[in-house]
């Protein structure tokens, strides 16, 4: 039987899983349905804005990440050495609907000069070509078992790592032959939607800040100065909506823009209007909580991602994928 393992999902958890499998000498095939890998570490290139910023990359998914566990700190140190990541700030501001309340010290937040997707692409680029094969865009159909065989996209694998958000794992595990793996998702956390609005201005016309938590459950939760985050000082803001606002606009994301722009104005009081804006929908942006187990596994089908390993955070997604990959290499496909 082939020792090859299928990893479904080319986000940070899937790439961490593939890396751990390859480190154990196991051949891996990673599938992602995106045109680029990276998942929710997503960067969008501005186009057709009519501003000087066409071609510029904006972080429209995760806003930043933190690193506490020594294993992930080591990965981040490597990313910093390769100039993929830079420490951004340990000071965010806090605001409510009436305006900015003040600064707040927290953990170091890491950001990237070329967009957070570059983290996943860099880590994927370090994987050995002779063991890891990354295929995309391929939307993987439901996984099946036939006797001892596990079938993914019409091929047999020794094991499968499903490294996608729970709501995206459900259709992959819809077949009755994998009901045991689907049951691992029972009683999982709820996932909340977020609208991510990018607004391009003529110049920086707001008070200096890096990131801002907004206590406005009705409309906004967070705003980033994307120019300071990326380090090029471009006059670009990225605002994340509340789950409540997002839930009301899932079929027409741009409909969330008027409320988000109005809230941005009352919080930041910019002296100009944006020259261009857009809204990206995240139907399953993040889980409300995460399981403490590092991953799920039943009969050679594993589950990993930011709803495991104590998340929900980018760091947990990496830790979860890494732990599942190491376990599969050590215990399952030896
Ligand atoms: C708006 C927003 C803000 C966030 N803010 C932060 C933050 O500030 N700090 C932080 O640490 N984290 C933040 N996060 C969370 C962070 O982005 C995630 O924790 C992390 O990216 C999860 O990685 P993952 O690999 O587990 O999942 P994903 O990145 O979702 O990767 C899953 C991949 O699976 C692929 N896929 C799914 N189904 C299939 C299929 N059937 N076939 C093939 N491929 C498939 C998808 O295309 C995707 O690329 C935020 C996320 C969002 C959306």
If you measure from the C-alpha of residue 313 to the centroid of ligand 1, how many angstroms do you get, rounded to a whole number?
9
Pocket test for ligand 1, best of 284, 286, 325 (most atoms within 8 A of CB): 286
Atom 53 of ligand 1, residue of closest alpha carbon: 285
Percent of the chain with pLDDT strictly greater than 70: 100
Sequence spans of domains, the chain: 1-42+116-187+290-334, 63-114+190-288
Q: Write down how long the chain is.
A: 334
CA angle, residues 272, 276, 277, in degrees to nearest 5: 105
Q: CATH for 1-42+116-187+290-334?
A: 3.50.50.60
* 19-52 pLDDT per residue, tens: 999 999 999 999 999 999 999 999 999 999 999 9
Domain 63-114+190-288, what fold? Answer: Polyamine Oxidase; Chain A, domain 2 (3.90.660)
* Average pLDDT over every residue of 232-250: 97
In whole angstroms, what separates CA 144 from the centre of its chain? 27
Phi, psi of 99 (to 5 degrees): 140, -170
* 57-89 pLDDT per residue, tens: 999 999 999 999 999 999 999 999 999 999 999
If you measure from the C-alpha of residue 286 to the centroid of ligand 1, how many angstroms do you get, rounded to a whole number?
8
Mean pLDDT of the chain: 96
Tokens read off for 250: 């899932």
Ligand 1 pocket residues where CB is under 6 Å: 8-14, 31-34, 39-41, 61-65, 139-140, 163-165, 168, 172, 194, 196, 240, 282, 285-286, 305-306, 312-314, 317
* Average pLDDT over every residue of 296-323: 97
- The answer to whether the 1-42+116-187+290-334 and 63-114+190-288 domains have the same CATH topology is no
* 258-303 pLDDT per residue, tens: 999 999 999 999 999 999 999 999 999 999 999 999 999 999 999 9
Phi-psi map region of 77: left, alpha, beta (phi>0 left; psi -120 to 50 alpha): alpha
From CA 181, how far away is CA 16, in angstroms rounded?
A: 21
3-state class of 224 per DSSP? strand
Going through the chain in order, the beta strands assigned E by DSSP cover: 5-8, 28-31, 43-45, 57-59, 86-96, 99-111, 132-135, 144-146, 149-152, 155-157, 159-162, 191-200, 211-215, 220-225, 236-241, 276-287, 296-298, 301-303
């Amino acid at each position: 039987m082939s020792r090859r393992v299928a990893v479904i999902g080319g986000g940070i958890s899937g790439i961490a899983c593939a890396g751990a499998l390859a480190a154990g000498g196991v051949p891996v095939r990673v599938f992602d349905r995106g045109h680029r890998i990276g998942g929710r570490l997503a960067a969008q290139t501005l186009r057709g804005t009519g501003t000087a910023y066409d071609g510029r990359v904006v972080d429209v998914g995760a806003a930043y990440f933190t690193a506490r566990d020594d294993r992930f700190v080591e990965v981040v140190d490597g990313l910093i050495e390769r100039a993929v990541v830079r420490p951004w700030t340990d000071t965010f501001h806090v605001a409510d609907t009436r305006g900015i309340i003040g600064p707040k010290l927290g953990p170091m937040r890491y950001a990237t000069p070329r967009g957070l997707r570059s983290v996943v692409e860099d880590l994927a680029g370090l994987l050995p070509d002779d063991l890891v094969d990354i295929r995309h865009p391929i939307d993987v159909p439901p996984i099946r078992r036939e006797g001892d065989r596990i079938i993914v996209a019409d091929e047999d694998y020794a094991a499968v790592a499903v490294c996608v958000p729970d709501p995206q794992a459900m259709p992959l595990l819809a077949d009755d032959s994998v009901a045991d793996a689907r049951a691992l998702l029972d009683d999982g956390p709820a996932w909340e939607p977020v609208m991510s609005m990018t607004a391009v201005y003529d110049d920086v016309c707001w008070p200096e800040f890096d990131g801002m938590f907004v206590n406005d459950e009705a409309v906004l939760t967070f705003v980033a100065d994307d120019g300071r985050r990326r380090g090029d000082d471009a006059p670009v803001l990225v605002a994340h909506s509340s789950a409540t606002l997002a839930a009301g606009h899932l079929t027409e994301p741009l409909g969330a823009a008027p409320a988000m722009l109005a809230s941005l104005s009352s919080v930041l009081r910019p002296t100009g209007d944006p020259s261009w804006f857009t809204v990206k929908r995240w139907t399953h942006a993040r889980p409300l909580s995460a399981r403490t187990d590092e991953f799920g596994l039943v009969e050679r089908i594993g589950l990993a991602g930011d709803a495991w390993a104590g998340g929900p955070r980018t760091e947990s997604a990496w830790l979860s994928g890494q732990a599942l990959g190491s376990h599969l290499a050590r215990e399952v496909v030896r």
